[in-house]
Amino acid sequence: MSGWADRRVVVTGGGGFLGSYIVEALLARGCPAPFVPRSRDYDLVRPDAIERLLDDARPDLIIHAAARVGGIGANREHPGSFFHDNLVMGVHLMEAARRRGVPKVVLLGTVCAYPKHAPVPFREESLWDGYPEETNAPYGLAKKMLLVQSQAYRQEYGYDSIFLLPVNLYGPRDHFDPAVSHVIPALIKKVIDAQEAGEREVVCWGDGSPTREFLHAADAAEGIVLAAERYDRSDPVNLGSGEEVTIQALADTIARLCGFEGRIAWDPTKPNGQPRRRLDTTKAEALFGFRARRRLEDGLAETIAWYRAERAAGRAAL
C-alpha cells in the first residue's frame, strides 16, 4: 500500500491515546484527514453503528485502535465488559468491512494475549502455548480471537487483514486517571502527588520484581503505519522496543526524573501481574522495517514534563 494522498482511512479510537499518534503519523505521510469516529456518534459495540460508519467514511483502509483498556485494577474489576466490548467491536467491524469490500483492515492485539509463562523473549510462535496471566486474560483472549478471525477470513474469503501485538505503551497524552491508568502513568501520578503533598513515601503494588517492556506510542504508531503500507499476511507480528526493565527499576527511574527523594515501598498483598514481559521484535524489522527509536528514559522524561504541564493547566486527572 502506498500513495497515502489518495487513501480514505478510518482510525477507530483515533481520538484516544494511541489513536492520536496514528492519526499524526498518517497526516505526516500526506493522508488527507483520516476519519476518526467518536464514540458519541458511533458506538462500535453496536453493529448498526459500524454499518453507519462505513456508509459515512467509505474507507479503503481501517486501522482498528479502539479498545476498552486499563491496568491490573481495571481488568480485575471489569473482566466481563473488557472481554465483551473488545471482542464484539473487532468481530463486527471486520465482518462488516469484509462484506462491504473494504480492501484492508489493521487489527491491534496486545501483549496480554501471550501465555503467562511464555519463554522470554515472547515469540509469535508461542502465542498459543498456554493461558494468559489471569488478571488480564479476558482482555487478552478477546483480542486474540481477532487473530483467529483474521486468519479464518483470509483462508475462506482471501480477505486482507493484519494482526499486530504491541507491548505496553506509554507517552504524553496517556491516561493518568487511577481507574484506568497503566503502570507508567500510575507511577508518575503517585510520585508527583507525594512530592506535591510533601510525603516521604510512595507505596506501589506488588513486590517490584516483575519485568516489563515499554514502547512509546509515537513509535508504536510508526510501526502500525509501516505495517499497513508493507505487510499483507495474517501471521501475528510483535511491536516492541526490546528494552526490558523491572517495575522496581522503573519506579526508581521515575522518582529520580521527578526529583522525588522519598522512599519507594511495595505492597506484596497486591498482584504482581505477569512475571516477565519482553517481545522478540525481529519479525517487525524483517517484514516491514520497524525498529523503535526512543529510549525509555528519554520517553519517561518527556511524559513527566507533559503531565506536569497538564496538571498546571488543570487538564490532567488529579
84-122 pLDDT tens trace: 999 999 999 999 999 999 999 999 999 999 999 999 999
Does residue 186 have a pLDDT over 90?
yes
- In this prediction, residues 142-171 reach a mean pLDDT of 97
Parallel/antiparallel/unpaired status of strands 9-12 and 244-246: unpaired
Does residue 132 have a pLDDT over 80?
yes
Closest alpha carbon to 224 in 75, 3, 12: 12
**Who contacts 293 (Cβ-Cβ below 8 Å, separation ≥6)?**
219, 222
Position 48 confidence tier, pLDDT thresholds 50, 70, 90: very high
| 4-312 placed in CATH 3.40.50.720 | yes
Residues in the chain: 318
Does residue 217 have a pLDDT over 90?
yes
Residue with cell 479502539: 66
Closest alpha carbon to 277 in 196, 200, 161, 182: 182
Parallel/antiparallel/unpaired status of strands 168-170 and 244-246: unpaired
Give the model's pLDDT for residue 318. Answer: 53
Is 139 one of the catalytic residues? yes
**Alpha-carbon distances of 171 from 15, 21, 100, 115, rounded to whole Å:** 15, 10, 35, 26
Catalytic residue, chosen from 42, 139, 159, 231, is 139
Domain ranges for the chain, please list them. Answer: 4-312
Give the model's pLDDT for residue 316. Answer: 61
Adjacency order of strands within the sheet including 168-170: 168-170, 211-216, 244-246
Closest alpha carbon to 300 in 207, 187, 178: 187
Position 317 confidence tier, pLDDT thresholds 50, 70, 90: low
Give the model's pLDDT for residue 218. Answer: 98
Does residue 157 have a pLDDT over 70?
yes
Position 274 confidence tier, pLDDT thresholds 50, 70, 90: confident
Which parts of the chain fold into alpha helices (H)? 17-28, 47-57, 72-77, 79-100, 137-157, 183-197, 217-230, 247-258, 282-288, 296-312
